[in-house]
Amino acid sequence: MKTYYRKTVILLICVIIICAAIGAFFYSSKNGEIEVGLPEITVLETASNVSINPNTYNPESFFTRGEKIWIYVEYTNVSHNGECDFYISLSVNHLNGDRLGFVQDHVTKNEKACFYYFNTNESWPAGLYFVSSNLIDNISEKTAVKSTDFDLI
């Protein structure tokens, strides 16, 4: 009889642990939604051109003054039950520290990528440039950053 009770108690403890794990899984994140991970900028590249349908681009890292420089950005973990609400900002800085381009966009569409462009001109000095991106997810209150570079000749 002791063995029967011991097995019953062990089985009961296992059932309680499993139920607690399932409950923690479904109720741990705010508003009953499951956390899928931190927002992440997965791709940040400069390009010579982009296409909207589907989101494609031709990576390029060397440009001449007067050219349009496209910045292609892909991101993940910004959709929360089909809703998106985040800011993305891009800053283009010359190696000497001068900021020659900046854009900030409020995104509420459930998309996986976006792109922006900067028109260069003769006032942009030749040399190495850094593109910094910052994504602020207003729903999860988390951020993501990424950077890349290009040469202007």
Query: What type of residue is 34?
Result: I
* pTM of structure: 0.74
The pLDDT tens digits of the residues spanning 104-126 come to 999 999 888 999 999 999 999 99
Above pLDDT 90, what percent of the chain?
A: 67
Closest C-alpha to 130, from 97, 107, 105, 108:
97
Mean pLDDT, range 53-62, rounded to an integer? 88
Q: Give the span between the Cα atoms of 104 and 106, in whole angstroms.
A: 7
pLDDT of 5 reads 55
Above pLDDT 70, what percent of the chain?
A: 76
